[in-house]
Structure 1
Amino acid sequence: MKQTDVVVVGAGPVGVLNALGLARAGVSVTLLESEPAIVQSPRAVVYHWSVLEGIERLGILDEAVRAGFTKQDYTYLVLATGERISMGMGVLEGRVRHPYNLHLGQHRLAEIALEHLRRLGATVSFGTRVTGLAQDDDGVTVTAETPDGPAEFRAGWVIGADGARSAVRGLLGLDFEGMTWPERFVATNIRYDFEAHGYGRSTLQIDARDGAIIAKIDETGLWRCTYCEPLDLPEEEVQDRMPAVFERILPGAEGYELVQYSPYRMHQRAATRFRAGRVLLAGDAAHATNPAGGLGLTSGLFDTFVLYDALAAVVQGRAEDDVLDRYAEERRRVFLDVASPAAGENKRLIYHSEDPARLAQDLDRLRRMAKDEQLLLERFLFSKRIETPALVRSQKD
C-alpha cells in the first residue's frame, strides 16, 4: 500500500492544480483519475482575469497564455434584432495585475499542470476508479480499481475533485442539494469564422429559443458554441438536429465544421458539507452550476487556491485542521450566496428572455453599462467576489 500525504481524486483542472500546489509546497501527492487520460470533451474555456494571479502563483500562467490567448472584448448580441452591445475590459488596466481574460480549453490547462506535477515526482494513476474510503484517526485508506486490479492508497488527507458525479462525495454519503435545470445543454466545438461576421471573441447571444454562449477557443479557428434544447427531444438525435440549430444560430450556416460536441444536464447544486473528517471536496464535486458566465470553473479555481494552501499548512504542522472547516464553510457560502445566483441570472438573460418588458430593462442596463466606466468596472470586478482570501499565513511572512 502506497503511503502519501494527500490523495487527490480527479484530474480535471481543480484536481491537478490542487495536486500541483501541494507538491510545490513540499507535500507528497498521489493523483487518481478514473478515465484513461485527461478528458478532452468540450468543457470550460474562459478564465476570468481574477483567477489568473492564482494560476501564475502555480508557475504555469505563461505557458497557459502561450497555449491559448488573452482578450478584453465582450459582446451581447440580441439575435432577433441584430443589436450588438460591446464592452471592453480596458477599464481594468492599471487597477489589476492581469486586465484580461484567458481563453484555453480546460483540458489543456490540466495537461500543462500535469506535466509540471510529474516533474515534481508526484504519483499519477489514470484508469483508477475509487470504490471505497475508510477513515481513522491517522488518515484515509482509499480503495480503487486500477488497470492492474484492486489497489489501496493510504493518505493523511483526501481531496475529492472528481466532478459533479463525484464518487468521493457519494462514498461520504453527502447529499448534493439543489435543482437540475429542465433543459439539455449542448456544448459544441466548431470551426467557423465568427469574427468575419463581427462577433466578439466572447459573445453572449440573447434569445428565448436560440440563446447561446459563443467563445473563441484558440487561434486555429476553433470556437465553442453552447446552446440548450428541450429535454423531451431524444439525446441520441442531438447531432441530427444540429444543422437546423446552426441554421438559426450562425450568421449564415454554411461552411462550419463540427469538431466535437457534448450534451449534458446542468445543475445548481452544492454538497451539504465540503469537509467530512479527513476528506475535502472542491470544484464540481462540491458544487455545480450552469455555464452562463463561466462561474463554475471560476468557483472551482478559487476553491483550489485557498484549499491547497491551507491543507499544506495543516500537513506541515503550520496550522490546526480547523482551518479546513473554515475552507468548507466559506467556499460553500460563497457559492450559494454569490456564484450560483449570478449564474442563474446569466442563464435567464441569455436563454430565457421571453418577457419583452424584462428584456427591455435588461438591454437598457447593458447599454448604460457599456457607456459608463464605473458601471463597467463594477461588472468586471464581480468575479473577484467569488474569491476567498488565504486562510493561513504565507511561509514567506
Structure 2
Amino acid sequence: MKRVLIAGAGPVGLTAALTLARGGVPVTVLEAGPELAAESRASTFHPPTLEMLAELGVLPELMTRGLVAPTFQYRDRRGGAIATLDMAVLAEDTPYPYRVQCEQSKLTPILMEHLLRHGGEVVFGAAVQEVLPRAGGVRATTAAGVPFDADVLIGADGAHSAVRRALAIPFEGITYPERFLVASTDEDVESLLPGIAPINYVFDPEEWLVLLRTPDHWRVLLPTPDDTPDDAELARLAGRLRAVADPGRDWKVAHSSLYRVHQRVAGRFRDGPVLLAGDAAHVNNPLGGLGMNSGIHDAVLMAAALLSGDSAAVDAAAERRRQVALQHVRAISHGNWEKLRSADPAAHHAELRALAADPEAARQHLLRACLITSLR
C-alpha cells in the first residue's frame, strides 16, 4: 500500500494512523484545525480500549495522565447510593479490570508523538472538502484547494464529516428531545456527596444527572430543555448545581457548554477506497462512555484489515463495525438514557442492587457495558 490519508486528528484518526504507521504504511493525517483540539470531550477509557492502546505502546503515558476508576455507582437523587459495581469481576477477562478517566485531549498529543516517531505526517489547517474516488485510489482536496492522493482515505472527521457528505452516505437516526449541559467544576464533590464513586449515574424523574471525575475536574452532565436560549440555561446553572449539593455558595465552575445529542449510524462504513470511523460513522449519547471507545475500536480493527491487504477482510471489518454501532453502542447508550429518565426510577433499584450483589451477573453486565462482548 503506497499511502493512506486520514481526515481528522482526533483520537480515532490518530489511532488509525499510528496502527498503520507501525505496520509500515505511509500515512498522512489531514486536520482542519490549526492544532490538536484542546476541548475535554470524551474522558472514559474502557478495558478493551486500554488493551488496544497498550498494543500501540501508548498506554503507559496515558496512565500517568489519567486516574483509575475501579468502580462506578448508580444513585438516587434523594436517597443516595443504590448500587456500586466493582469492575474487579472482570479480572479474568482483561488485564485492565477498570476504567481510566482522562480527557481525550491528553491522549491525542501522545498518539501524534508516536505517529511522527514512526514516520507518519500530520498536516494542520487542511480541512478535507472534496473526495473523489479514482482508479486505484482516492483524491482528497482541502478547502484551500490542495489535492492529496492515496490508496485509501479514512474519514475520522467527526459527526459533521465532510468525507461522509462528499460521498452522500446517509446518516440516519434521531436527535434527542433535550440538550446536554456539561459543567466542569473545581469543587471537592466527594466531600459534598460522601461515598460517591469516580463515575455516578443519578436517577431522578424530574432531573437525572451524571457525575464523573477526571484528572483535572469533576464533570456534571445535566439534561436541558431543547427550546430555551443558551444564555438563559447557562445563567441558571448555578442554581441547578446547588440543588445537586449545596456548599452554601455557588459552585466553582471552570467551564460549561451546551450541545445537542444525536443517535445516528452511517448507511455504510466503506465506499470503495473510503472508510468511515468514529463519529463520522456513528454518533450516540454519552451515557456509558461508548463513543470514543467504539471509535478507537473502529480505527484499530479497520486499520488491521487494511494491513492484511485483503479487500474482503476490509469489507468484513467495516460491516462488523457497523453492526456493533447498531446492536451494541446504540442499544446500550439509548437504554442508559431511557433508564435514567424513567418516570419511575425506583422500578430499577431492585434490579441494580441484585446486579451488584451477584458477581457473575455483574460480570455479564460489564462485559457488554464495556464493549468487551462486541469485540469477542
2:60 aligns with one of 40, 62, 84: 62
CA distance in 2 between partners of 1:166 and 1:268 (Å): 15
User: For each residue in 1:298-334, what CA deviation from the matched residue of structure 2 results, as whole angstroms up to 9, or x when unmatched?
Assistant: 21121122111111222xxxxx212121112111111
Residue 207 of structure 1: aligned partner: 204
1:269 aligns with 2:258: no
Asked if the contact 1:17/1:304 (under 8 Å) is kept, the reply is yes
**Once superposed, which parts of structure 1, at least 4 consecutive aligned residues long, lie more than 6 Å away?**
none
Equivalent residue runs for 1:176-195 within 5 Å: 176-195=171-190
Residues 281-300 of structure 1: pairs in structure 2 closer than 5 A: 281-300=276-295
Shift of 1:49: 1.4
Q: Confirm whether residue 89 of structure 1 aligns to residue 87 of structure 2.
A: yes
Query: Shift of residue 160 of structure 1?
Result: 0.3
**Deviation sequence 1:250-298 (CA, Å, 0-9, x none):** 3546363222222111111101010111000000100010000111122
Question: 8 Å contact 2:224–2:233 — kept in the other structure?
Answer: no
Equivalent residue for 1:226?
221
CA distance in 2, matches of 1:60, 1:254: 41
Q: Residue type of the partner of 1:288?
A: V
Answer whether contact 1:143 1:152 (CA < 8 A) is retained: yes
Partners of 2:247 and 2:19 lie apart in 1 by 46
Is the contact made by 2:140 and 2:148 (CA closer than 8 Å) also made in structure 1?
Answer: yes
User: 1: distance between equivalents of 2:89 and 2:133?
Assistant: 50
Aligned residues: 373
Looking at structure 2, the residues matched to 11 and 86 of structure 1 have their Cα atoms a distance apart, in angstroms, of 36
Q: Is the CA contact 2:185–2:252 (under 8 Å) kept in the aligned structure 1?
A: yes
Secondary structure at 1:150's aligned position in 2? coil
Q: 2:353 aligns with which of 367, 376, 379?
A: 367
Does the CA contact (< 8 Å) of 1:41 and 1:262 recur in 2? no
Give the CA deviation at 1:69: 1.4
Aligned to 2:213: 216
**Share of identical aligned residues, percent?**
34
1:18-65 CA-partner distances (Å, limit 9, x unpaired): 001111111000001111222222311111112211110110001100
SS of the counterpart of 2:157?
Answer: coil
Q: Displacement of 1:241 after TM fit?
A: 2.0
Match of 2:39 in 1: 41
Q: Which amino acid aligns with 1:156?
A: D
Deviations 1:208-262 (A, max 9, x none): 33211211110x4x11211110101112433212112212223546363222222
Worse-matched range after superposition: 5-14 or 242-251: 242-251
C-alpha deviation, 1:386, in angstroms: 5.4
Name the SS for the 1:177 alignment partner.
strand
Helix, strand or coil for the counterpart of 1:80?
coil
- Find out whether 1:137 has 2:127 as its counterpart: no
Give, in angstroms, the shift of residue 85 of structure 1.
2.0
Look up the match of 1:349: 339
Distance 1:18 1:251, change over 3 A: farther
Distance change (3 Å), C-alpha of 1:242 and 1:255: closer
Counterpart check, 1:381 vs 2:367: yes
Query: Deviation at 1:385?
Result: 4.4
Aligned CA distance change for structure 1 residues 250 and 164 (closer, same or farther; 3 Å): farther
Q: Which residue matches 1:14?
A: 12
Structure 1 gap ranges (5+) = 315-319, 390-397
Q: C-alpha displacement at 1:153, in angstroms? A: 0.7
Counterparts in 2 of 1:122 and 1:83: CA distance versus 1, 3 Å = closer
Normalised to the residue count of structure 1, the TM-score between the two structures is 0.90
What's the counterpart of residue 169 of structure 2? Answer: 174
Structure 1: distance between partners of 2:107 and 2:258? 22
Deviation track 1:132-175 (CA, whole Å, cap 9, x = no partner) reads 11111211111003xxx431111110000011111110001011
- CA–CA distance in structure 1, aligned partners of residues 118 and 248 of structure 2: 47
Partner in structure 2 of residue 75 of structure 1: 73
How far residue 184 of structure 1 moved from its aligned partner, in angstroms, is 0.5
In 1, the alpha carbon distance for the partners of 2:123 and 2:253 equals 32
**Counterpart residue type for residue 67 of structure 1:** R
Letter in 2 for 1:107: S
Rounded Cα–Cα distance in structure 2 between residues aligned with 1:386 and 1:126: 37
Q: Are 2:252 and 1:257 equivalent residues in the alignment?
A: yes
The answer on 1:242 being equivalent to 2:237 is yes
Q: For 1:368 and 1:37, locate their aligned partners in 2 and report how far apart those are by CA, in whole Å.
A: 48
| SS class of match (2:260) | strand
TM-score by length of 2: 0.95
Deviation at 1:186, TM superposition (A): 1.5
- CA deviation profile, 1:73-115 (whole Å, cap 9, x unmatched): 1111100323442221122224421111111101111121111
Within 1, Cα distance between the matches of 2:131 and 2:49?
32
1:115-130 correspondence to structure 2 within 5 Å: 115-130=113-128
Q: Is the 8 A contact 1:330 1:388 kept in 2?
A: no
Q: Does 1:278 align with 2:273?
A: yes
